[in-house]
Structure 1
Amino acid sequence: MTDPATGTWASTDLPVLSAAIELCFEVPGQLRRFRELVERVGLPSETVRAAMLRLDSASPPFLKVVTEWGDDDGHDVVLLGEPTERGLRAVGTWPTPESALDRLISAMEAQAQQADSEEERSKAHEVAAWFGSAGRDLMVNAIAGVVAGSIAAA
């Protein structure tokens, strides 16, 4: 992958990866054509092609790219395969302990808003605030342990 300091990651590679993952999610399991990605991203086709090659050749890859036989114009037909775990993590769609905790905190805040009494509301807000600040590292580690299987879930 290119050095993020050059701007290639933020200006080209990440937008191409995000658009590719969006396309893959629209019809899961179906290969998508390069042309669709170029239209979605709005960058020149050679820029998109270069970004796809970088994303595919990274170790581990961000995205699987399949190059097929030539089309009527003699160009290779490039198809998008499924995104990898690394690609999904890069665009924020892979679940992490941090994202699970953020969803839990949001759910607690929503429940606090619907509480019947001021006391329930106050306690729920306190717990959510603690999870979001002082208890964050503790909770992230606990969630990671449960997900990894090193802490048994009851």
Structure 2
Amino acid sequence: MTPPDRPLPDTPLPDTPLPDTPLPDTWFRRDLPVLRAVARLVDGPDHGGNPYLGQVVPASGLPKPDVLAAARALVAAGYVEVLTTYSGEIVRFTGISPEARRLAGLWPTPQSEWERLVEQLTARAAHAPTDVERARWRAFADAAAAVGPDDGALLMSALIGGYVPRAR
């Protein structure tokens, strides 16, 4: 007979997720803040582009065990490069991938550039010095809104990548 203070063998423990439930998110809570901290430090001149783990911890605002777990995940995904000891402990961050630069916000994405373009058009329409210019900028902003963010991102992708289709 099982004592009453112990759960039955087929009853999951309260903190144990069921096997068919999704795992909790780690990207937004842990990995992305660490990636952004690494990107700032790698991109900045203060640390020679190779920050130590001890510099990333306070820059991320997360505890060291979370930073280590995030760093291992980011290395496995190919987002960051690290220098390790012989035993495999992470010592320094030595680089980040182009995709990591985009995810951290250092490089443009088609979506972010489309949003910037729409913001610029709206601001120019609001601050145009004459009614004629205001109407032109408003028409341009309205046309951009009608194109929509999906097709706008495709356009910006072509522009960022340097490919603009030729007229027939």
TM-score of Structure 1 vs Structure 2, range by shorter chain? 0.7 to 0.9
Q: Could you tell me the percent identity over the aligned residues?
A: 29
State the secondary structure of the residue aligned to 2:146: coil
Change (3 A) 1:14 1:139: closer
1:125 and 1:113 mapped to 2: Cα distance?
A: 8
- TM-score calculated relative to the size of structure 2: 0.70
- TM-score calculated relative to the size of structure 1: 0.75
2:71 and 2:81 mapped to 1: Cα distance?
A: 9
Show structure 2 runs of 5+ residues with no match: 1-21
> Do the aligned partners of 1:115 and 1:121 also contact (CA within 8 Å) in 2?
yes
2:140 and 2:56 mapped to 1: Cα distance?
A: 44
Q: Which has the higher strand share?
A: 1
Residue type at the aligned position of 2:113: A
> Do the aligned partners of 2:110 and 2:156 also contact (CA within 8 Å) in 1?
yes
Q: Paired residue for 1:90?
A: 103
Q: Paired residue for 1:151?
A: 164
Larger CA deviation: 103-112 vs 44-53 = 103-112
1:10-46 deviations in Å (ceiling 9; x for gaps): 2211111111112222228521100001122232222
Measured after TM superposition, the shift of residue 119 of structure 1 is 2.6
Count residues in correspondence: 144
Q: Paired residue for 1:39?
A: 58
Measured after TM superposition, the shift of residue 89 of structure 1 is 2.6
RMSD of aligned Cα (Å): 2.8
2:35 and 2:91 mapped to 1: Cα distance?
A: 15
1:66 and 1:16 mapped to 2: Cα distance?
A: 16
Measured after TM superposition, the shift of residue 103 of structure 1 is 1.9
Residue type at the aligned position of 1:128: A
Change (3 A) 1:9 1:139: closer
Quick check: 1:9 aligned with 2:27? yes
> Do the aligned partners of 1:68 and 1:79 also contact (CA within 8 Å) in 2?
no
Quick check: 1:134 aligned with 2:146? yes
Q: Paired residue for 1:62?
A: 79
1:67 and 1:54 mapped to 2: Cα distance?
A: 15
Measured after TM superposition, the shift of residue 151 of structure 1 is 2.5
1:71-94 deviations in Å (ceiling 9; x for gaps): xxxx94611122212212323333
Q: Which has the higher helix share?
A: 1
Residue type at the aligned position of 1:13: D
Change (3 A) 1:43 1:114: closer
